[in-house]
Amino acid sequence: MSTKPQRGLGKGLGALLGETGSMDNFRKPVGYVNKVNVAESTQPQDKADVLMIPVDYIEPNPFQPRQSFDQEALAELAESIRTLGLIQPVTVRKKAADKYQIISGERRFRACRICGMDLIPAYIRDADDQGMLEMAIVENIQRENLDPIEIALSYQRLIDECRLTQEQMALRVGKKRASVTNYLRLLKLPAKIQHDLKVGQLSVGHAKVLLGVEDTALQEALCDLVVKEGLSVRELEKKIQKLQETEPESKTAEPQDLPDEYFKVLEIVGRYFDNSISLKRSASGKGSMTIRFTSDEEMKKFLTAIEKI
């Protein structure tokens, strides 16, 4: 477990927010219903559902481009999973009756092993059955009992596994592009906040307001306050407004709905940077766009693409 000290909230913020203390006791780990006994079942499996797979039946992807993993970061992720459960299941493909290979989520898989988990929640997909997979995911999205994180993860699967653009995906699921983008943004929130969204302790309205706060520690502290005091969305907005007035150095931004053209820019450019891109726009139309890249290779691919235009 990492011994990295937890970040404070800055001068005056603790007094304004009050002492929430540790809220982990209020959070029970997310659980998944094991709809199929994956190890022994010979029945068809719904690839849109989360299924539980014995950890010993899963093997890493031999083509995994990442060869080294930050052990401290893995320990932190393992501690988060131990407290909150695995929020985002791994994706695997079936190789044999009792053998699965990771498609995505090896870092989460390793952290689950550190936690000593016997069963890991996973999506199962057939790499050669793209159309059926897409239909299964879209059908899953149309269910009425999905929580916001399940919806966001389903949208992300359509992008990652079915290679759909946000515009194509919006047409498939019958939603506006802005709605799709707003759900995808939920996956940028810290694990604690995603957990509270998933179990219903936080609403999408609360989450949208918290997305306007750039500081992760402040996001989590405000989330704890909502859970502890049952703040409404409006009360949360007032709390943030008060913080802005008393702490001008704290980085917050009012959430706002962007025109469709802006979402298209985010989508197109985001393809080259694993969607690590953010855009701010004022009411007058002025703003800024921030791109976060992880390697020179990402920038080279982007340069090659724009040079062809």
Active site residues: 106
Angle subtended by helix axes 166-173 and 148-160, to nearest 10: 130
Angle at 292 between CA 305 and CA 92, to 5 degrees: 80
Burial 52-74 (b: 16+ CB within 10 A, else e): bbeeebbeebeeeeeeeeeeeeb
Contact present, 221 and 13 (Cβ < 8 Å) = yes
> What CA–CA distance (Å, rounded) separates 171 from 180?
10
Q: Return the SS3 of 122.
A: strand
**Token representation of residue 30:** 């997310």
Per the document, the length of the chain is 309
Radius of gyration of the chain from its Cα atoms, rounded to whole angstroms: 20
Q: Return the SS3 of 228.
A: helix
